[in-house]
């Protein structure tokens, strides 16, 4: 069975339900409220096919995308060429990378903070310390497990230009002591009558809310700003209600 990340065109369709313009609106509102630097350079961690690049470029930002997948970066580079976007790309892991000029804002979307242990989590934030200007923000979507999806299948279907993609995501525990889980992304594709499946499995260390706050407090380079539900800065997380697509905001300390 072929891998999902080796077929970026179908991955792109599967996640095309997102309202990218609204998400960039949230980036800008976050910077207006909480950033201490003027934003011109935006870094995306685990950027994949770079869905935010065109909207960010249209608004005048310089986009920097980091990913370890050569295939995904090739797709992102082609998108950059077609839309004449201000983008640059770096092939590297999220635990070991460096950019020449620090960014003024960074984000990681769709729970893509794929670290397998605490040492890798620390290495990621060490790299982020160098990658961001002091006073800059780092937004993380669904990277902390407020309501862990374990042994539950989340499925959705998207159709675009004659291609139908049914996506399924599920997670299972591998090591409860290490909080290590195996995530599976499974796509059933019907491309104009040609039917096939794609699948990828990834290991990810789960991070829980109070653990994350303690982790940030112990670091001297980042401070916690806040967390909100469903990309809505008017919905701070209180622990009383179900959580969907939560975002967390950190700020790089001087």
What is the residue extent of each domain of the chain? Answer: 4-144+207-252, 154-205
CATH number of the structural domain 4-144+207-252: 3.40.50.150
- Region 134-155: what's the mean pLDDT? 90
Report whether pLDDT(149) > 70: no
C-alpha separations of 249 from 134, 135, 142, 173, 227 in Å: 14, 12, 11, 27, 6
Q: Taking the CA atoms of the chain, what radius of gyration do you get in angstroms?
A: 18
Residue 123: Cβ-neighbour burial (10 angstroms; 0-12, 13-18, 19+) = middle
CATH entry 3.50.30.10 includes domain 154-205: no
CA geometry: angle at 91 spanning 22 and 124, to 5°?
75
pLDDT tens sequence across 35-82: 999 999 999 999 999 999 999 999 999 999 999 999 999 999 999 999
- Do the domains at 4-144+207-252 and 154-205 have one common CATH topology? no
Over range 11-25, report the average pLDDT.
98
Average pLDDT, the chain: 96
């Amino acid at each position: 069975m072929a891998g999902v990340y080796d077929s970026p065109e179908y991955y792109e369709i599967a996640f095309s339900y997102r309202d990218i313009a609204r998400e960039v609106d949230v980036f800008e509102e976050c910077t207006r409220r909480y950033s201490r630097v003027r934003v011109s350079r935006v870094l995306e961690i685990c950027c994949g096919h770079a869905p935010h690049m065109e909207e960010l470029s249209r608004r005048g930002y310089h986009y920097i995308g980091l990913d370890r997948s050569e295939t995904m970066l090739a797709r992102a580079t082609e998108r950059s060429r077609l839309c004449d976007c201000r983008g640059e790309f770096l092939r590297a892991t999220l635990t070991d990378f460096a950019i020449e000029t620090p960014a003024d804002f960074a984000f990681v979307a769709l729970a893509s903070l794929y670290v397998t242990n605490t040492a890798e989590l620390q290495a990621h934030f060490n790299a982020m310390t160098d990658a961001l200007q002091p006073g800059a923000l780092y937004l993380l979507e669904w990277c902390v497990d407020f309501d862990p999806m374990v042994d539950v299948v989340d499925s959705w279907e998207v159709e675009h230009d004659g291609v139908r993609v049914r996506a399924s995501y599920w997670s299972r525990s591998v090591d409860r002591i290490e909080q290590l889980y195996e995530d599976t992304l499974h796509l059933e594709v019907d491309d104009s009558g040609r039917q096939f499946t794609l699948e990828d499995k990834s290991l990810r260390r789960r991070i829980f809310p109070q653990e994350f706050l303690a982790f940030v407090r112990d670091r001297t380079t980042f401070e916690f700003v806040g967390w909100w539900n469903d990309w809505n800065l008017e919905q701070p997380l209180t622990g009383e209600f179900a959580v969907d697509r939560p975002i967390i905001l950190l700020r790089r300390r001087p």
